[in-house]
Structure 1
């Protein structure tokens, strides 16, 4: 029987094109300073027509570190200095939406308005 794969390479895709290598390293360098063998960053490009996302490739020394690394970056929202409005938008979306009244209640309200 074969051993389960113990993968140590991580690919971080769909990073903002404006994100720099130093900004990305600042996120996990404190936690994983001595835990990776190599790191490669491919910057993205943003133009009027097309947008090419940044990517990062990393090989960790132990496969156990992969899970910690994923937990650290999974769900992280990357925002640059131009996107303060976007952060506000995310906060509004995160709030619970008010429940709309049922169709029966809406029909009763319309009937009352029409009868007046």
Structure 2
């Protein structure tokens, strides 16, 4: 039987200090507002930072969602309410999917 699950891919971040896998909720709570700011492990309290690869994934995810919303608005005769709802859905999607593209390390890196 063939397994399509790669063993080196972690769906949610793992602390580099204590090797604890963060829950989706903990990851969502610790999301940084800026790339340079650290995340705090809820198990050991040590600071963790987004890797360059994870920062790139977040930028790509943001761009895909943003351009999808713009394309939806441009190619439809959407009302203001529908435009607002699509924006809210896009932001919610970005927030909900971000923990799955995060990867952390002990060292601060900038994109």
Structure possessing the higher relative contact order (Cα contacts under 8 Å, 6 or more residues apart): 2
Report the structure number with the largest CA radius of gyration: 1
Structure showing the higher helix proportion among its residues: 2
Structure showing the higher strand proportion among its residues: 1
What TM-score do you get using the length of structure 1 for normalisation? Answer: 0.26
What TM-score do you get using the length of structure 2 for normalisation? Answer: 0.26
